[in-house]
């Protein structure tokens, strides 16, 4: 978690305006507030988590990214962050488009379904992968659209979405993803972090 926060924070310029979509209990928001910018908002679907954020004094609105991003004007944030939530949406493509509208830049992190541990799990155990990063069983997982680093990389290319920076994370090891190492990073990383722009 902390590594991901650090990487995201490094992608953000100081004193900019940030929206954290699916901000959970506000841990990332707090981290960014202390390190980067005061001007940070959150959107979260769970009432309980929204209340936890508000209790900490964070500016969070209860809402669903799939229907409630529309209320923010175009390019009203310098950065919009979607941390490990993309896979939980009914329509991830629609959400990505909304994020790109609202934010001048978008940071998306995805739990990598192409990670070798995940692949081995399915290959040898023959059951849906349950890992540290993806702790749910197939019957109770909120994750509807799992994807791999390669999937997302290809998606951006097909949809003409500019990738400014793509970073792979394995445990605490950080490395850049590029065209030539894509297959390897897709196998060897548990998390992909992308800084994109429409």
Which lies closer to other proteins via its Cβ, residue 62 or residue 66? 62
Site residues for other proteins, 90-149, by CB under 8 A, read none
SS3 of the chain: CHHHHHHHHHHCCCCCCEEEECCCCCHHHHHHHHHCCCCEEEEECCHHHHHHHHHCCCEEEECCHHHHHHHCCCCCEEEEEEECCHHHCCCHHHHHHHHHHHEEEEEEEEECCCCHHHHHHHHHHCCCCCCCCCCCCCCCCCCCCCCCHHHHHHHHHHCCCEEEEEEEEECCEEEECCCCCHHHHHHHCCEEEEEEEC
Site size toward other proteins, by CB under 8 A: 20
The reply on whether position 16 binds other proteins by CB under 8 A is: no
Nearer to other proteins, 58 or 177 (CB): 58
Shortest distance, position 41 Cβ to other proteins, whole Å: 8
Given the complex with other proteins, which of 17 and 104 has the nearer CB atom? 17
The 31-70 site mask, x for binding other proteins (CB under 8 A), equals ----------x-----x--xx-xxxxxxxxxxx-------
73, 126, 135, 142: residue in contact with other proteins (rule CB under 8 A): 73
Chain residues that interact with other proteins, rule: CB under 8 A: 17, 41, 47, 50-51, 53-63, 71-73, 76
């Amino acid at each position: 978690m902390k590594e991901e926060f650090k990487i995201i924070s490094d992608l953000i310029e100081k004193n900019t305006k940030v929206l954290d979509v699916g901000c959970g209990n506000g841990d990332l928001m707090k981290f960014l507030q202390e390190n980067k910018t005061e001007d940070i908002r959150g959107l979260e679907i769970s009432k309980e988590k929204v209340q936890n954020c508000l209790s900490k004094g964070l500016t969070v609105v209860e809402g669903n990214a799939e229907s409630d991003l529309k209320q923010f004007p175009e390019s009203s944030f310098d950065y919009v962050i979607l941390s490990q939530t993309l896979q939980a949406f009914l329509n991830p493509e629609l959400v990505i488009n909304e994020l790109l509208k609202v934010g001048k830049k978008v940071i998306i992190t995805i739990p990598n379904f192409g990670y070798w541990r995940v692949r081995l799990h399915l290959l040898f155990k023959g059951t849906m992968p349950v890992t540290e990063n993806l702790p749910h069983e197939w019957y109770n997982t909120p994750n509807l659209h799992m994807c791999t680093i390669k999937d997302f990389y290809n998606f951006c290319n097909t949809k003409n979405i500019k990738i400014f920076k793509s970073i792979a994370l394995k445990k605490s090891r950080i490395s850049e993803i590029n065209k030539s190492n894509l297959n390897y990073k897709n196998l060897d990383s548990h998390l992909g972090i992308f800084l994109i722009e429409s």
